Structure 1
Amino acid sequence: MRNDGTNELFGYWNRLRGTRAAPERREVAPASIGKNLADTFIIQALGHGEPRFRLAGTRICSIYGRELRGLAFASLWQTRDRSNIARLVKNSMTNKSVVQLNFEGRTTRGRKALFQLILLPLANEANDRHVLGMVTSPGRPFWLESDAIIENRIQSISIIDPRYPSRSLSSSAMAADPEIPGTKGLAASQSIISRKVAHLRVFDGGKIIG
């Protein structure tokens, strides 16, 4: 994780959870997120329902040119990526895995920008599951928030072991090799499923349920 905001949110989440798999949603205090609040969001899934935005920061809504509350999270992505995104979110909610994505956003005018997204699971609440997340744009092009992003396209996916955040499983050829240092920190229950996206190989981390 190279983005300062992402690092700060991950560190805050990690401190809250302590020795648990994930902190509870009620423990997340907006005041503690501070300057990063506009870039954060919470996704909610009720029962077997589709994950949807429960809350979305003002800057995220501006980037997409609309209010995101209640919108299906997967609907922001190109059609070919939607099932993959849905599995990643479900996996984060169920197995409490931390997921980081690099993706490209395309605007109504055909402009493109790179973004980084992180998914941080929260403890289950009866029939209610949540994920805390953040979206940031390295470099922030001058037109961002004035030309709405209409579609996201996955570039790479990393699965992060909270115990060893520097040892993330990234979408590179090395990540597929069990002998490469940094790929051994993941829990034994996590399997790796990969597919090609353009010239990149994307890894879906964690055990896929169903």
Structure 2
Amino acid sequence: MLTFFNQGKAEKPLSSEAQSCLQLVRGYWEALRYAGPLPSRGDIDPRGLSGVLERVFLIERVAHGQARFRLSGMHLHDLLGMDARGIPLGSFFEPVARTRLTDELEQVFSHHNILTLHLEAERSLAQPALAACMQILPLAHDNGTQQLALGCLVSEGRIGRSPRRFAIAQLHHETITLPGLTLVSSASKTAPDRRMTAPRPALRLVSSRD
């Protein structure tokens, strides 16, 4: 079971709805990878992700450890308070977390890692406690170079005033060996930048240039 790490408190499990979203996206990716070393952008059919599209995103690598959104579901729009297409992935993170994100994201693109981030949002009077989990799955680029990744972002709590930005409470990565894509290692790390804090029916996926 996926859980949120919370220093000094009991671990808080994800709701069954949030767990199901992450499992559906991961299962869809796992099913596609049998067509080749990694699924490609062209393999993805939004119909296979129906019901969770508002939490799904597609990112492309633009520099070392840097990525921007090519596709984004409406839940990401709600968290950011604006259309996420073309926006850097780091926009969802507090400044102190972005360096850590850069290092870990590069592992997704360069070493075929599956990255899971357990997140906790900054809080203020109009921004209540909000936890989230982001999972990023590597994809093969259409020209044979790995530059894309499929992701899912679920949150637990009321969004309040946007934008909501997150600290990394914990991360977990799984390294994949090609061509068989056997998971060979995993690691779970507590992030030093973590801060101490406590369904919508209409779904759609929007694209900037697909």
Whether TM exceeds 0.5 here: the answer is yes
Q: Within the alignment, does 1:123 sit opposite 2:140 as a pair?
A: yes
- Whether 1:26 aligns to 2:42 is yes
Partner of 1:178 in structure 2? Answer: none
Q: How does 1:44-59 map to 2 (within 5 A)?
A: 44-46=60-62, 50-59=66-75
Which of 58, 78, 85 is the equivalent residue of 1:42?
Answer: 58
Deviation string 1:56-96 (CA, Å, 9 cap, x unpaired) is: 10121112211111111113211111121122222101111
Asked if the contact 1:106–1:149 (Cα under 8 Å) also holds between the matched residues in 2, the reply is no
* SS of residue matched to 1:61: helix
Deviations 1:28-75 (A, max 9, x none): 111100001110001112466931111110121112211111111113
CA distance in 1, matches of 2:65, 2:149: 14
Runs of 4+ in 1 over 6 A off after TM superposition: none
RMSD (Å) for aligned C-alpha atoms: 2.8
CA distance in 2, matches of 1:113, 1:80: 18
- Structure 1: how far apart are the matches of 2:172 and 2:119? 12
1:160 aligned residue: 174
The 8 Å contact of residues 65 and 104 in structure 2, kept in 1 or not, is answered as no
1:101 aligns with 2:117: yes
What are the Cα deviations for residues 105-143 of structure 1, in whole angstroms up to 9, with x where unaligned?
2356242211011000000344771111000024xx2x3
DSSP-derived class of the 1:170 partner: strand
Deviation, structure 1 residue 198: 5.0
Contact 1:47–1:128 (8 Å) recurs in 2? no
Q: Secondary structure at the match of 1:70?
A: coil
Q: Which residue of structure 1 lines up, in the alignment, with residue 179 of structure 2?
A: none
Distance, in Å, in 1 between the alignment partners of 2:142 and 2:163 is 32
**What 5-or-longer segments of structure 2 have no aligned partner?**
3-18, 177-181, 197-210
The verdict on how the C-alpha distance between 1:22 and 1:52 changes in structure 2, with shifts beyond 3 A counting, is: same
Out of 45-54 and 57-66, give the one that drifted further: 45-54
TM-score (norm 1): 0.72
Cα deviations by residue, 1:138-165 (Å, 9 ceiling, x for unpaired) = 4xx2x32x52243210000001356459
Q: In the alignment, what sits opposite 1:206?
A: none
Counterpart in the other structure of 1:147: 161
Question: Does the aligned pair in 1 maintain the 2:57–2:72 contact within 8 Å?
Answer: yes
Q: Alignment identity in percent?
A: 21
Question: Aligned partner of 1:129: which letter?
Answer: Q
Once the two structures are TM-superposed, the CA of residue 19 in structure 1 deviates from its matched residue by 7.2
- The correspondence of residues 8-23 of structure 1 with structure 2, limited to 5 A, is 8-18=24-34, 20-23=36-39
Quick one: distance in 2 between partners of 1:48 and 1:157? 19
In the alignment, structure 1 segments of 5+ residues that lack a partner are 173-194, 201-210
Distance 1:19 1:30 in 2: 17
Please report the TM-score for the alignment, with normalisation by the length of structure 2: 0.72
